[in-house]
Amino acid sequence: MREITIPISDETIRSLKVGDPVALTGVMITGRDTAHKWLIDTFIKKTRQPQGDDLEIYEALKPLLEGGIIYHCGPVVSGLDSKQYKFVAAGPTTSIREEPYQADVMKHFDLRGVIGKGGMGPKTLKGCQEVPGVYFHAIGGAATLIAQSVTKVLGVYKLDFGVPEAMWVIEVKEFPVVVTMDAHGGSLHRVVEEQSGKVLAELLAK
C-alpha cells in the first residue's frame, strides 16, 4: 500500500493508476450534497449571494482544499454539546449524487482527490484529467473502522446544515482507499458497468 501525504502534488496524482491501494495521511474535509450545492451556487456559479459568514468560511476553506481532498461522508460525531468533537462512524456516502457539482468544485479549489463509494460519472472523470485529480474508493460498511483513521477533528464549518451535511475538517492517519478513477481517464467503475452490461445483454438474449 502506497502512503501519501495531503496536500498532494500534481506529480504524485499523475503517478497513481486505477487499482492502486493508498493510505492517506493529513488534513481533509467532508462534504456532501448540501455543501457542494452551497459551494457551487455561492462561489462558482454565483447564483446566490453570500450570507452571514459565507465569505469568511470560503477564505478558510481555500487553503485546505488546494491540493487537498473532499470526503463524501456524513459522519456520526460525539461531543456536540462540549465541542470536543470525535468521529464515531465515518463511512463513505454514495458519490454519484455529487456528479453535477464535483468537477467544477475540483477545478475551482484545485482539489487533488475525492473520496466516496460507488464511483462517479464522465463529467468528474474529465475533471480528474484536467485538474489533475483522482477518485479514491473507500470501504462501504466499515464506518467504525474508518473512523479509527480520524485522529483529530480540527473544526467544522456550516454546522447549520446539520451534522451529516456540515463540512468537518479532520486529521487522518493511514486512511485506507483504492484509486478507482485516475487522472489518465481510467475508471474501474466504467469498466465494471460495461462488462456487466454485456453479461446482462447476453442473459436477456437467451
List 157's β-bridge partners, or say none: 167
Structure confidence at residue 139 as a pLDDT band (50, 70, 90) = confident
pLDDT at residue 206, rounded to an integer: 67
Q: How far is CA 143 from the centre of its chain?
A: 15
- For residue 189, what pLDDT band results from cuts at 50, 70 and 90? confident
Domain spans of the chain?
2-205
Full-prediction pTM beyond 0.75? yes
Give the CATH fold of the 2-205 domain. fumarase (3.20.130)
Query: Where in the sequence numbering do the catalytic residues fall?
Result: 36
Q: Is the pLDDT of residue 181 over 60?
A: yes
50-61: per-residue pLDDT in tens?
Answer: 999 999 999 999
User: How far is residue 84 CA from its own chain's centroid?
Assistant: 24
Cis bond before residue 100 (omega within 30° of 0): no
Mapped onto helix, strand or coil, the DSSP state of residue 120 is coil
pLDDT single digits (tens) 10-62: 999 999 999 999 999 999 999 999 999 999 999 999 999 999 999 999 999 99
Q: At what angle do helices 102-109 and 54-65 cross, to 10 degrees?
A: 80
Using CA atoms, how far apart are residues 188 and 181, in angstroms rounded to an integer?
6
pLDDT in tens, 80-127: 999 999 999 999 999 999 999 999 999 999 999 999 999 999 999 999
Q: What's the pLDDT tens digit per position in 65-82? A: 999 999 999 999 999 999
**What is the structure's pLDDT at 202?**
59
